[in-house]
Amino acid sequence: MATLEELGEAYAEWRGRSNGNPRLTKMVRGWDRVIQFRTTDNGLGFSMRVENQQLSELDTGPIEECDVVVTGTSEDFCDMFWGDLNPSEKYMSGEITLQGSQEDVMRIDAISMVAFLDA
């Protein structure tokens, strides 16, 4: 199980790569969303915002409304934020589940893919 600190560190890496990627910032133009992550193994919940083509810092406080809910293990989220895990594969095998529109789900997957394309 990954701790909240580990997840925060991993997310910071993801955020840094995403916000510094010109192609990705173009891809999320006009796509302002709130995404909640929930872990199945240790009951954590945290959220991120995409606003003005930038990913926000990780918010560990409770939220009432969001556009997409992503549910998976803390380890999978950690690996995904580090770019070591392909979330699509976990999604296609049912280990990561989502709630939200297909288009929003596509954008999240796009972030996870494009952020690490040049690495």
Partner 1 sequence: MTDAAASLAPRASLRRALGLRTVVTTSTGLAFAALEYLAAAGLVTYVAGDSAYIPIIVAGALALLAYGFFGELNGMFPTAAAVRLYMQRAMDDRVALTITFTYMSTIVLVIASDAFIVGSALAHAFGEPAWVAAIWIVGLLAVAVVCNLRGITVAGLLQDLATSVVVLATLAIGLLALVRSGHGLHTPFAPLHGHSAGDLFEAIALGVFLYSAFEWVTTSAEEVRKPESIQRGMLIAIGILCVVCCVATVAMSHTLTHHELTSAYPQLYLGVAAIGHSGLWVMAAVTAVTALNTFNGGFITASRFIYGTAREGSLPRQLALLNDRAVPWVPVVILGTVSAVVALVVAVTHAWEVLVAVGAALEGMIYAVAGVCAVRLRRRQPDTVRPFRVPALAVLGPIGIVLFGLLALTASVSVDDKFNPAPLVIIVLAGVLSALYVLKVLPGMRAKEAARRAARPRRRPGRPVSEDPLGP
Interface residue list for partner 1 (CB under 8 A): 1, 3-4, 10, 13, 23, 26-28, 31, 34, 36, 38-40, 42-45, 47, 60, 62-69, 71, 73, 75-76, 78-79, 82-89, 91-94, 97-103, 105-107, 109-110, 112-117, 119
Determine the Cα angle at 7 with ends 34 and 110, to 5°: 50
Q: Which is nearer to partner 1, 55 or 66 (CB)?
A: 66
User: Least distance to partner 1 from the beta carbon of 25, Å?
Assistant: 10
Whether the CA torsion 48, 51, 100, 118 is positive or negative: it is negative
**Per-residue DSSP letter, 118:** T
49: part of which helix (H) or strand (E)? strand 45-51
Q: What residue type is assigned to position 69 of the chain?
A: V
User: Least distance to partner 1 from the beta carbon of 115, Å?
Assistant: 8
The answer to whether 109 and 79 have CB atoms below 8 angstroms apart is no
Q: Which is nearer to partner 1, 38 or 56 (CB)?
A: 38
Q: Which is nearer to partner 1, 56 or 69 (CB)?
A: 69
Q: Which of 8, 14, 36 is nearest to 114 (CA)?
A: 14
User: Least distance to partner 1 from the beta carbon of 119, Å?
Assistant: 7
User: Least distance to partner 1 from the beta carbon of 95, Å?
Assistant: 10
